Amino acid sequence: MLIGFSVSNFLSFNESQSISFMASKVVRHKEHIHEIQGKRILKSGLIFGANASGKSNLIKAVEFSRRIITNGLEDVDTEKKHFRITKENYKFPGVFQFDILIKDVTYSYGFAVSYQKKEIVAEWLIKHYKTKESYVFNREVDEQGRHIISSEVDIRSIEDKKRFEVYLNDFRDNQNLKLKKSLILTELAERSGSGKGVFQSILDVFNWFKSMIIIFPNSKYRGLNDLISDPKRKGNFLNMLSFFDTGIEGLSENIIEYDKILGKLPDKEAEDFRVMVSNRIPDTPITVGIGNEIFTLRKDGSGKIIAKKLLLNHGNEEDLFDSEDESDGTKRLFDLIPLFMLKDQNRVILIDEIDRSLHTKLTYRFLEIFYEIARDKATQLIATTHDSSLLDLDLIRQDEIWFVEREQDKSSKLYSLDKFKQRFDKKIEKDYLIGRYGGIPIFTEELLEMEDQHGDQ
């Protein structure tokens, strides 16, 4: 679970800003708390704010840093990712830190990336115990640009200790330009395989990042893999579509030629898509979205790729609908509903603009269902939203509500509703809309004056 996240010098975040999912003394909605080892961690967080306040940038910061961890620095675009209002910030690193709980163990992991050199200039992994904490590793760069690596971890196995030291020595080799751009966490997770002791800790942290689910407004049908071909999951999906009143009564597939799918893409994208599909399809099918169409791809007994297109039954089996015929709200549900059917429910899920294209009552009910499903699970849902009707303390706790506000210097500031110490029976939506908590649009008098002058002409 995510205990907290902090970021600095990334997009609209200048000075370090932090969000915490540690529960406060609020007594309501105790089912929203996962309690373990004396820690009380919230299962959700809703982030409110005006347009251009920086809500989406918070989710982008998590995705940017997660992608560096799982895919490598070379796989991300670092251009113009610094806080650009201050020109000199290009010379300073972006810093990201996660405090996380894995298998009853708390870790702090973070790194700093130089936008100027596209290198890792700091990295640390701290393991927290009941009475102390120790660095699994700590990486710094001195004034001469040398990477200084240290560790406080106690490794009892002589063999593992030697192997761990060999790995760290590779990063101490300042002539190795590749490792200057690599994370210790990623390299050791990939080298150590299925480990034990310190290597198991590193694998646990790395796999935690891999299991994270991040959904943006333009995400396409993530989580639908294998859904149509699994009768039980297909049935559950249809029940949810019916529950949310989409009008869809059935799902079916129509076989089409694989080359026709590739023909919908530009040549370069088509080749990348072909490689991706070849790598991702072992024995189980995958579901992909191209434009507004959904296709299921699988290999037959001879290794040939069979493609099927998703069709939707609205009550007339002789005239089925393509997915592109559906409303934006229904398409959004295709992306969100599979989250309820994850085989491994102990995940962190982040959704940017959870209310995008959804009726306010539908978004409200979606959250209610999440809390029901997550009652006995270590699952978290963190989402940004404009929907002020979700500011309802009958639905969520005060400490689950966060605001993002744009400061005078155009930077984003994060703060919690809990600091206002509102009573549980307070109608906070009205206070939010009149600016009691900030985080709403501010319209300038100059604009109103211009409109008045225009009206007088």
- pLDDT one-digit tens code per residue, 12-60: 999 999 999 999 988 889 999 998 878 899 999 999 988 888 899 999 9
DSSP strand pairing (401-406 vs 44-49): parallel
> What residue type is assigned to position 65 of the chain?
S
Cβ-contact 293, 323 below 8 angstroms: yes
DSSP labels for 51-100? TTSSHHHHHHHHHHHHHHHHH-GGGS--TT-S-TTSGGGGGS-EEEEEEE
The per-residue pLDDT of the chain, averaged, comes to 84
Domain with CATH 3.40.50 in the chain: 1-218+344-457
Burial of 431 (0-12, 13-18, 19+ CB in 10 A): middle
Q: In which band, very low, low, confident or very high, does the pLDDT at 222 lie, cut at 50, 70 and 90?
A: low
Three-state DSSP class for residue 260 = helix
Q: Dihedral of the CA atoms 362, 368, 372, 374 (nearest 10)? A: 90
Q: What pLDDT digit, counting tens, does each position of 345-398 carry?
A: 678 999 999 998 888 888 999 999 999 988 888 899 999 998 888 988 899 999
pLDDT at 443: 41
CB 73 within 8 A of CB 181: yes
Residues 326-337 pLDDT 10s: 888 888 888 888
Does 444 score more than 50 pLDDT?
no
pLDDT over threshold 80, residue 438: no
Pairing of strands 305-313, 250-256: antiparallel
Question: Does an H or E element contain 234, and which?
Answer: helix 231-243
CATH fold, domain 1-218+344-457, is Rossmann fold (3.40.50)
